[in-house]
Amino acid sequence: FGADGIVFAGEVEESILEKLRDVVDRWGGPFFVERVDSWRKFIREWKERGGVVVHLTMYGINVEGSDVVERIRSTDGDILVVVGAEKVPRDVYELADFNVAIGNQPHSEVSALAVFLDRLFGGRELLREFSGAKIKVIPRPRGKRVVRVGEAG
């Protein structure tokens, strides 16, 4: 949905990282998959390089009824979106340039990320074509069709 990559902090099984890399290999795109030991160090270094940190939390400024997305768009740096689970450390809230809510009720982290990216990119991310794809979907009103790139549609 418009992201350039994903960074996991702490422990994550290598098989998960490999599965994600395999998806990128088949479907294409400039998407990276990384794991870092320290989220705190990663965020600080991101900011030192001029990046902007957006923390998605139900306690932040709601995307609906505010100008927070426009303010994020107007920044100059690359955007790091931090999605935490339960009991996010206070440091994340303090390190973030923007604490943003997708509604102020509990919901899944994945849905919050999808809604935020859609608001950030204004729906344009849904029309992206990925370079390096080996397979692609041919849209159909019924059924499904997935072809290898280079085959007739």
Integer Cα distance of 111 and 19 in angstroms: 21
Domain assignment present for residue 113? The answer is: yes
Is 16 contained in some domain?
no
- Number of structural domains the chain divides into: 1
Residue 136 within a domain = no
- Assign residue 79 the CATH number of its domain: 3.40.1280.10
Does 133 fall in a domain?
no
Question: 98 is in which domain, residue-wise?
Answer: 47-122
Per-residue confidence (pLDDT) for residue 153, from 0 to 100: 52
Domain assignment present for 130: no
**What predicted TM-score, i.e. pTM, was given to this entire model?**
0.88
The DSSP 8-state label assigned to residue 72 in this structure reads H
Tell me the per-residue pLDDT of 10-64, one tens digit each, with 9 for 90 and over: 889 999 999 999 999 999 988 999 999 999 999 999 999 999 999 999 999 999 9
Flag whether 26 is in a domain.
Answer: no
Task: Please calculate the CA angle 23-29-34 and round it to the nearest 5 degrees.
Answer: 65
